[in-house]
Amino acid sequence: MQLSKKKVAGLLSAATCSLLGSAAQADENPWDVDSAILYYSETDRVMAIEPVISATKDLGDDASVSMKLVLDSLTGASASGAVPSTMVQTFTTPSGNSSYQVNPNETPLDDTFLDTRLSYSMNWETPIDRNNRRNLGFNVSKEYDFFSLSGNALWDHDSNQKNTTYSYGINVELDAIDPVGGAPRPLTAMLAQDKTSGTESRDIVDLLFGVTQVINRSSLFQVNLSLSEASGYMTDPYKFVSVVDVTGEPTSQLFESRPDSRSRQSLFGKYKKMFSNKDIFTISYRYMTDDWGIDSNTFDFSYRFNMKEGYFIEPHLRLYDQSAADFYRYFLTDSEPLPQYASADYRLGEMEATTVGVKFGREIAEQHVWSARLEQYVQNGDGSPDVAFGQLTQQDLYPDVDALILQFNYSFKW
């Protein structure tokens, strides 16, 4: 079941009215409205369309309020974690009511993947005194099998003639997960459909400490330290781990199992520089590490050519790599005892990813700007790992993800 079209249309109109309604009483502080639509498409897999509208109003005296509404519609197939076989494989759908088949030598994909997500957030920024500001926010989002509620508070403190800003923040998120067909008991067989009914939950607390420093008239940098503690249901209820025999053929599919807590730390740095011709160079780097054994590095570069005619062109490159989670397994063998945790979710495996793109934009009237962004995202892992044997050596155990990202933005005062 998805959110019905009527329901979504009703929610959208209600939220849009609440976003923009008070602007009908025109005053000197109009709403800054940013709207965008994202099209995301993976080759032979997931496709998503995501419209967003965001509006910010200056309340005067450095206070502002902003609201954002996101609708996210996903369809297509997603890798289930099971390994390919030389024979036809049959899988039970999450509801347990039907099945689907995967052809020999093809990556098992669950093509029943379909979801709609609606998310609404609101932020309120107010000055405390000349050098201190607070920002309070909340977010609610709903999918068919998932509900999330979060609240955050951020305190910015300026010093050194506002050249140095210290930021301290906390975010608390409460998630409720209600998997289709119930939550499978970890590492039980797909065929057994041994599932618990009821709602699973997860709590996440994020802490942020950041420093933004102006270097000179045309450059500045930012460094953030983030700590995140998550506890509760962290397993993906729709992912499998295959158990294979001595020939490498899968003999059963087990539901995956993940730890019920995760601690993450990340260090993020960003530098921006404007050149004399008004072009802007931006570089950022993030190092993340967690207690699941995952370390990652993310580099991001962009160069914005600000043309005299009001156009801009901005090429973008993102490089990402991560190590595998300690419990990531391409497959399990039927001769070994079951581990406590195991997941074949490709997102927890060792991988590299590259995004290459360009954004183009133009101011068509005063404070009316449109832009378009086109990017390609490619993710690669080791599809022929040393642990493969038998028929598995003939299979691609980590197929690439190749996605196209297309986005249109329109910003205006209202």
Residue 394: CB minimum distance to other proteins, A: 27
- Whole-angstrom CA distances from 213 to 36, 198, 216, 226 are 30, 49, 9, 18
Residue 246: CB minimum distance to other proteins, A: 31
Q: Which residues contact 357 (CB under 8 A, 6 or more apart)?
A: 315, 316, 373, 374, 375, 376, 405
Nearer to other proteins, 197 or 276 (CB): 276
Nearer to other proteins, 16 or 213 (CB): 213
Could you tell me the two tokens for 177?
């997960």
Residue 106: CB minimum distance to other proteins, A: 21
Q: Which residues contact 226 (CB under 8 A, 6 or more apart)?
A: 206, 207, 208, 209, 264, 265, 266, 267, 268
Residue 70: CB minimum distance to other proteins, A: 8
Residue 337: CB minimum distance to other proteins, A: 26
Nearer to other proteins, 192 or 364 (CB): 364
Nearer to other proteins, 228 or 253 (CB): 228
Q: Which residues contact 45 (CB under 8 A, 6 or more apart)?
A: 76, 77, 78, 79, 109, 401
Nearer to other proteins, 222 or 252 (CB): 222
Residue 152: CB minimum distance to other proteins, A: 5
Please give the DSSP secondary-structure letter assigned to residue 212: E
- C-alpha–C-alpha distance, residues 329 and 247, integer Å: 17
Please give the DSSP secondary-structure letter assigned to residue 20: H
Residue 408: CB minimum distance to other proteins, A: 11
Residue 148: CB minimum distance to other proteins, A: 3
Residue type, 220: L
Burial of 382 (0-12, 13-18, 19+ CB in 10 A): middle
What is the residue whose two structure tokens read 């800054």?
Answer: 32
Rounded to a whole number of angstroms, the distance between the first and last alpha carbons of the chain is 37
Residue 134: CB minimum distance to other proteins, A: 14
Long-range contacts of 278-283 (CB under 8 A, 24+ apart): 278/306, 279/303, 279/304, 279/305, 279/306, 280/304, 280/306
What per-residue string of b and e applies to 23-37 under the rule 16 or more CB within 10 Å gives b?
beeeeeeebbbbbbe
What per-residue string of b and e applies to 148-168 under the rule 16 or more CB within 10 Å gives b?
bebebebebeeeeeeeebebe
Question: What dihedral do alpha carbons 295, 299, 300, 301 form, nearest 10°?
Answer: 180
Nearer to other proteins, 57 or 304 (CB): 304
Nearer to other proteins, 32 or 245 (CB): 32
Nearer to other proteins, 100 or 146 (CB): 146
Residue 189: CB minimum distance to other proteins, A: 24
Nearer to other proteins, 47 or 338 (CB): 47
Q: Taking the CA atoms of the chain, what radius of gyration do you get in angstroms?
A: 24
Nearer to other proteins, 85 or 141 (CB): 141
